[in-house]
Chain A
């Protein structure tokens, strides 16, 4: 049987209906909407109308970072300006064209949207309910919670951080009572236990696990940012429910009975997520993605490689032959179809690239298109390469450090996704004079193909070399000083660039950073300056 998107969506409908009926008998019916290309027109119009009358609001835009041209826009349901918790529609776009819409929203809401309880009182109630050593994280969010005897409750959502747990409380905004609470990922008790396993390319890695009874969970509790490695087992129903609700559960966490880990994908995802944290902490002095130890959730096997032949090329391209940063510290690692890519978590640079998108999200918020988008991609590749050189021996073999991106998981020619050393070899642009596709829907304005202008400048400033287009040579600071240049780029990109920055801004920002760090007469400053000039950025 050939399983297509329609079948997946049908499964989603059934799943959501069943769970709604079972868990919330008193809640009003949640309407599931879904679309196939055949019915897209009507749903697209409906979504546009709801956006106009304020029933939907744009929440978050997510790029398919390794696949060009696709974005997912999350549209959050609103009621009198307040969020409706759980009401969300996700629209997949290719440029301006809507490819699919799915999600659900709640109907027939009619409640008084004015709370009698203050946000501070709600936070206090949630912390009191959670108990000692807990603290409210961030401001409570007032919204409409489906459920309760009247169908909907005006409630505050309060995030409560407790030792080794993050609980989401819903506090009745009129009575102060706890309406419901659940762990984002619940854990019994942290008991760090280091295990080991073999990665995708045969590398031996340690796995920082958590022991719970006789089971080891792929939860790294030894780093300040708790990091979860999940295994969706290639189950399309699980994957769809995650995409609809955004929720993950303890049951999703990859486990081992012996702490000798046998799934190479889990091994590499866990180890490489840790290397990313370590590098960013030790070299950049940053505490994780948000510099506040945001927890990281890495999802392996979102869909099964063995089912690749039964999915549409869109689904294969997005969720099998791809890795994505989904926002809020959540990354998805495709299985690879075994023809174009193998398991994407098997590449340290791919993992680091996606996690670096998280840093960008929490700092410069460089956009997803055109020049800012290209800088966004470039920064991810720069950090990915720096991290590779920090944790892998230099060389051309598997799990060795080089100036290529994705070489450890790419199975087809040229054997990598991008090259920082020779951008043209990977189909990229090596000089600003050749920048292309800006303002088009092609690769979101050329974000990947133009990214190598900046990442090649990084290569030239570190390693030295000649830009093929300008013919200009740069000596470079030498590989031993790679981290010093990486710091200048990190500092410029994270602290000085903004959502609409251009290549020219990036040149100025990295030079400012180098001047601050090493002085304007330093070799680092000179090499970075020459490198930007060599790639045609002035």
Chain B
């Protein structure tokens, strides 16, 4: 499944354009105090999906048979299951400060292409192609957020958020390839990939909105959409670096508790 920010925003707009939106407009004044409706703390727990960040490419030079063996891996992207927790503090007026932690894990495929040197002769590479499956990708984002609450009506409000993110990416990268060959070795066949799990943290950003429907004064149901991204340089043998983009569009639904 591929989720995009635009789709998420449309979905959010659709929710707002329903009766609740009309009702909210009519009653905005009564709920529209320049504060957080009397509560100073808002806790949220959501589960949902994180759309994969755009894929990235790894270009490595391995040493095989006394010669350079260029290997490229195109890592795909895939939606990940998302768990998100957030904590917001009211500062003043509609503004607040928050922190959110999101955790997403998925398994992606890597399309491997290699030029495997001939064992006996220089400059006679044999092309191999294949798929490295089940490459685990884990993204742990810690998002520092400036918050702005827009009370739509007495049942709905929207919390806008944005700020810097610290994103830890743990990614399985292809560190070597296994191939089969038989004499006279004029061709080689991709068999599997050897993986190395690498982890690096990078700084990025987040921007999002959380639409909350209030059952009671203290309890609500929230729909979160957020976009977060960081570019992270992953170390891998045989490559100067692998520049990966971590994060992506996030969407989740969950409980909101207000104090």
Contacts and interface: CB of A to CB of B under 8 A. Distances in A.
A223 B122 contact: no
Given A224-B183, A281-B184, A282-B184, A196 B120 contact: no
Contacts of A223: 183
Interface string B169-192: 000000000000001110000000
Interface residues of B, number: 10
Contacts of A194: 65-66, 119-120
Interface string A188-200: 0000101110000
B126 to A, nearest CB: 14
Given A194-B119, A274-B120, A222 B66 contact: no
B176 to A, nearest CB: 16
Interface residues of A, number: 18
B119 A208 contact: yes
A194 B120 CA distance: 8
B120 A206 contact: yes
Contacts of B119: 192, 194, 206, 208, 222
Interface string A264-277: 00000001001100
A208 B119 CA distance: 8
Contacts of A208: 119-120
A278 B66 contact: no
Contacts of A192: 119
A48 interface: no
A282 B120 CA distance: 14
Contact of B65 (A206, A224, A282): A206
Contacts of B184: 278, 281-282
A204 B122 contact: yes
Nearest to A287: B183
A206 B183 contact: no
Nearest to A195: B66
Given A194-B66, A206-B66, A222 B183 contact: yes
B1 to A, nearest CB: 46
Nearest to B181: A222
Contacts of A259: 66
Nearest to A209: B66
B206 to A, nearest CB: 50
Contacts of B121: 206
Nearest to A260: B66
B184 to A, nearest CB: 6
A222 B67 CA distance: 17
Nearest to B65: A194
B120 to A, nearest CB: 6
A208 B121 CA distance: 10
Interface string B110-122: 0000000001111
Contacts of B66: 194-196, 206, 259
Interface of B: 65-67, 119-122, 183-185
13 contacts: A195-B66, A204-B122, A205-B122, A206-B65, A222-B185, A223-B183, A224-B183, A271-B120, A274-B120, A275-B120, A278-B120, A281-B183, A282-B184
Those 7 A-B pairs whose CB atoms lie nearest each other, nearest first: A194-B65, A196-B66, A194-B66, A194-B119, A274-B120, A206-B120, A206-B66
Interface of A: 192, 194-196, 204-206, 208, 222-224, 259, 271, 274-275, 278, 281-282
Given A208-B120, A282-B184, 11 more contacts: A195-B66, A204-B122, A206-B119, A206-B120, A208-B119, A222-B185, A223-B183, A259-B66, A275-B120, A278-B184, A281-B183
